[in-house]
A and B are shown apart, each in its own frame.
Chain A
């Protein structure tokens, strides 16, 4: 089936006496023409890539701009030595979100979920819970299918890129996917899962994409933290029986509308918000300097370039 409405996927699941994640899995089988085993195997590869990315983090690397690096390590050291206000679990979630966002900025291998800029949200909630509650891998894969289905609906009805809809579309979508995954892992009902998705998305609605110097660093790395913590809050509220008064598909549509009406300055162009603060501008200047030359290219130039390989600027 088409993954274009949470309501319809839920209805199909009820009709066929299946779970939400199974409908997503079967859609993947049909869509890519693969077996159930193949689909599960591919998701398992994604889950392992996430865990490997987490394990390979050292905190020693710095991004190309030098703005990002070491914050995940700092958070872990703080959690080990002091008493974090939000308790140990939240501290781990924050540390994981920072680590993954940093790894992305430092050209390490990550899983874009749904985007590279938001790659820290899903692992930040899944990995600490996996270790804390000793969850079997097959359950984790179910949660990943659940999250993928949610992301697919958001991508269809609204958008998942900062360029199209601002940060709400990236971190907001990741947060909604993570919230749904958490409700599944805690055996909530499909309705509770939908409420969690709706609440997570609502809470981040309107968030702008304003990256300093156009890089996926500031504020992106730390925004992964708010996406993860927000997902936990939304999942806990839903599991407590608290409902979103606006149905999930309508919330997704509203996010899409807000994204479309967001001025272009706030959609990944680095022309507004934090990017144009005096400090943000200074970073951009620093990145831009370094003898860049600009000219209009002609075929003759290109040919000439090929004849002069000694000019390699490696």
Chain B
């Protein structure tokens, strides 16, 4: 079902919903998933992002997103200066990400607390995005829903623990996927929900044995 505010909107800083607004959203998503103020970022542009990125301000938009700016923030064109002020050191170059969507970017991030994140995402048009890879695991989610990202060891019962917790919190699951790098390795659960997951429940899930990390991405209206 088409949201009429995707037709009459979004309100955004130009020039391109895919190359600018979508790029800001990818940056913001990466910041949320890192869960910290990024201090180092290596940004690798692929395909059309690499070809026409400078003219579309894709580079500035990605950095703006990493700094937490929204797609309609008039400071997006000044994001490089903002990054210097706020202590984010970054590099931007071009890369050939095999079989990736033309508007793709791969980023390696380090947070203030030394947390790390590797993310590959693409901008699919109209400001919509898709996260394709997280810390080496293939995933697929858009940020159009509240999203719970659970990393755990490949143990029996972890999935049931998480879904039980969601059920207790009366959170309805819209989509979910289970992705693992290898058998017995680390697993990533991506759970898209209609309702936001309460903070206490996120904490509780994180305390379960075998669960390594839980990140909650709240949908932006």
Which residues of A pack against B, CB within 8 Å?
A: 2-3, 24, 27-28, 31-32, 42-43, 45-46, 49, 63-65, 103-117, 119, 122, 144-145, 147-149, 151-152, 155-156, 160-161, 163, 177, 213-217, 270, 287, 290, 292-297, 299, 302-303, 305-306, 308-314
Contacts and interface: CB of A to CB of B under 8 A. Distances in A.
Given A116-B20, A116-B21, A216-B16, A306 B9 contact: no
Given A107-B15, A108-B13, A294-B50, A148 B94 contact: no
A305 B14 contact: no
Contact of A312 (B55, B89, B106): B89
Contact of B17 (A31, A115, A122, A149): A115
Given A28-B5, A151-B7, A306-B42, 16 more contacts: A27-B4, A28-B3, A31-B3, A64-B54, A107-B60, A109-B12, A110-B12, A110-B13, A113-B9, A116-B17, A122-B8, A214-B55, A216-B15, A287-B54, A295-B96, A314-B80
Contact of B8 (A107, A111, A305): A111
Given A46-B8, A46-B11, A116 B52 contact: no
B115 interface: no
A117 B42 CA distance: 30
Contacts of B16: 116-117, 216
A309 B40 contact: yes
Given A117-B16, A152-B2, A309-B89, A215 B72 contact: no
Contacts of B110: 306
A105 B14 contact: yes
Specify which of A64, A292, A306 lies most central, judged by the most chain B CB atoms within 10 Å of its CB: A306
A155 B2 contact: yes
A290 B8 CA distance: 37
Specify which of B7, B20, B72, B126 lies most central, judged by the most chain A CB atoms within 10 Å of its CB: B7
13 contacts: A27-B4, A64-B55, A104-B15, A112-B12, A112-B21, A114-B8, A115-B17, A116-B16, A148-B5, A163-B125, A214-B55, A287-B55, A302-B42
Q: DSSP class of B's interface residues: helix, strand, loop or mixed? A: mixed
Interface in B49-102: 50-52, 54-57, 60, 72, 74, 76-77, 80, 83-84, 89-97
A24 B96 contact: no
Interface string B178-197: 00000000000000000000
Contact of A313 (B7, B60, B91, B136): B91
Contacts of A42: 5
Interface of B: 1-17, 20-21, 40, 42, 44, 48, 50-52, 54-57, 60, 72, 74, 76-77, 80, 83-84, 89-97, 106, 108, 110, 118, 125-127, 136
A213 B52 CA distance: 7
Contact of A161 (B1, B83, B95, B125): B125
Contacts of B54: 64, 287, 290
Nearest to A30: B1
Nearest to B110: A306
A303 B116 CA distance: 11
B90 A215 contact: no
Contacts of A306: 40, 42, 108, 110
A112 B90 CA distance: 30
A31 B40 CA distance: 40
B97 to A, nearest CB: 7
A46 B3 CA distance: 14
B118 A32 contact: no
B196 to A, nearest CB: 14
A215 B15 contact: yes
Contacts of B1: 2, 31
A314 B48 contact: no
B74 A297 contact: no
A64 B17 CA distance: 16
Contact of A3 (B2, B93, B97): B2
B42 A305 contact: yes
Nearest to B76: A107
A314 B12 contact: no
B95 A297 contact: yes
Contact of B13 (A28, A107, A295): A107
A61 to B, nearest CB: 10
